[in-house]
Amino acid sequence: MAARCVTSSSIQQNRFSKLSIQRNARQVQRCVLARGGAVTELNTIEAYKEFIEHDGVVVIDFFASWCAPCKLIAPKIEEMAAELTDVKFGKLNLTETPNVGPFAKALEIKSMPCFHVYKNGGKFDQMTGNNPDGLRKMVISAL
């Protein structure tokens, strides 16, 4: 089912209904995601390798489902992806991806969340921790 993008006139027509406002907010969010602001979940090392081979800037969020700082920064990453639509955002769960141990060691991932920024297929920079402002600055410097 395709998302119907909301216009200001359709919001104005339904301005008194709380349910309509919530529905419109969900539709706007779906439209943003459909236009390229989503974070792609990568389930294999091969998917990660294909994802970073891109002419442009790519951000990978290495996380774990049990990691509290990872959970705290996740909404900020979604917001950043919606705002910086020229950047590809992906995330790789280090506890659920098969054969990830040696891979994570080779990438020097020692704690989470860990973010790698790639530019034109090559590693540009990396950072660790729940620091959305620092990540944003790093991503913008890669543009």
* Cα–Cα distances in angstroms (integers) from residue 5 to residues 19, 63, 79, in the given order: 17, 32, 18
Q: How many other β-carbons are positioned within 10 Å of the β-carbon of residue 38?
A: 16
Active-site entry in 5, 31, 70, 114: 70
Residue 67 known to be catalytic:
yes
Token code pair at residue 17: 């209904």
Active-site entry in 5, 31, 67, 114: 67
The residues, any chain, with a CB within 8 Å of residue 25's CB and separated by 6 or more, are: none
Complete edge-to-edge strand list for the sheet that includes strand 114-119: 39-42, 87-93, 57-63, 114-119, 122-128
Q: How many other β-carbons are positioned within 10 Å of the β-carbon of residue 94?
A: 20
Burial of 60 (0-12, 13-18, 19+ CB in 10 A): buried
Residue 5 known to be catalytic:
no
Among all residues, which ones are annotated catalytic?
67, 70
